[in-house]
Amino acid sequence: MRILRRGTAGLALAALVGAAAFVALTRPRPIERAALPEHSADLANGAAIYRIGACYACHQPPEQVAGADRSLPLGGTPLPTPVGTFYPGNLTADPETGLGAWSELDFLSAMVRGVSPDGRHFFPAFPYPAYAAMSLSDLRDLWGYLRQLPAVRAPARAAEVPLEPIARRGVGLWKRFAGEPAAIVPDPARSEAWNRGAYLVAAPGHCGECHTPRDRLMVRDEQRALAGAPHPSEEGRVPSLRGLVARGRYADAADLALALQYGETLGYDKLSSGGMGKIQSELAQLPAEELAAIAEYLVSLE
């Protein structure tokens, strides 16, 4: 009896230590409160970042919302993932249903740390693990761009994730495995356009979120960056972005830039399914020199 009681006490203690460790290891780390330096947002750059970031691709309203301007990121379209279904929210400045009550620092914490203003983790279905590598000035231009969109009331729908509170807290553990994104160091031996392309692909473009394979902990394997992967929705495969010219997929960088701009309407294939169609329609709205930079970088990957 005593042994049993001691055993139970031991188990209870272990559970307590386990729970305390879980709480400690999963603690959200928002950006420290600090005064941000003056910044006057470059709205044209903010718009370009919004397009390459494909914010609208996930935050668009579903077809059936009546009376709303569908070109605004009002949220509500279901995003099915292996952990559950998300309904990415309203990114306009409506104070109740959008980001109207958020400070710029709240936004930076969401984009860089994946933490909400009320101190909870976002699931990485929101591709902040890539956005975190964006430059502060690009993030602030993007914020400026979102702020000047017409504010529309569009209530968000809660995510449908089994055991959501625990799973959400558990994201903190995943963040520890995933670590901080590697800093994007410019390569002086390459052209300015190549370096711009490398940055756009890795950070705002988050191309690796689908095109880079993951290890068993679902962390991107950067040794095999952009080498193709099983689709995140678990259906089909995302093709490799390496050797695109050597494999005869495109004639050269200019050809790839055209493919990214016009997609399948110009007779290119493999640019529509598995979410790529939505990404491509966003890329189509980028200035030509940004597409040329992305293409120059991609065709250099062996």
Site of interaction with ligand HEC (CB under 6 A): 53-55, 57-59, 75, 79, 86, 88-89, 91, 99, 110, 122-123, 125-127, 131, 142, 159, 201, 205-207, 209-211, 231, 238-239, 241, 249, 270-276, 279, 294
Tokens of 189: 């031996």
Alpha carbon 37 to its chain centroid, in Å, reads 25
Whole-number Å distance between alpha carbons of 254 and 292:
7
Task: Considering the complex, state which of residue 86 and residue 194 has its C-beta at the smaller distance from ligand HEC.
Answer: 86
Smallest separation, CB 4 to ligand HEC (Å): 42
Smallest separation, CB 278 to ligand HEC (Å): 8
Task: Considering the complex, state which of residue 190 and residue 278 has its C-beta at the smaller distance from ligand HEC.
Answer: 278
Task: Considering the complex, state which of residue 20 and residue 96 has its C-beta at the smaller distance from ligand HEC.
Answer: 96
Smallest separation, CB 208 to ligand HEC (Å): 8
Whole-number Å distance between alpha carbons of 259 and 265:
9
Task: Considering the complex, state which of residue 227 and residue 279 has its C-beta at the smaller distance from ligand HEC.
Answer: 279
Please identify the residue of the shown chain whose CB is closest to the bound ligand HEC. 89
The answer to whether the beta carbons of residues 224 and 212 sit under 8 Å apart is yes
Residues ≥6 apart with Cβ < 8 Å to 243: 301, 302
Smallest separation, CB 273 to ligand HEC (Å): 4
Whole-number Å distance between alpha carbons of 249 and 256:
9
| Amino acid letter, residue 9 | A
Phi, psi of 2 (to 5 degrees): -65, -40
Smallest separation, CB 184 to ligand HEC (Å): 15
Whole-number Å distance between alpha carbons of 115 and 160:
19
Task: Considering the complex, state which of residue 18 and residue 243 has its C-beta at the smaller distance from ligand HEC.
Answer: 243
Smallest separation, CB 225 to ligand HEC (Å): 12
Task: Considering the complex, state which of residue 149 and residue 177 has its C-beta at the smaller distance from ligand HEC.
Answer: 149
| Amino acid letter, residue 18 | G
At which residue do the structure tokens 């104070």 appear? 95
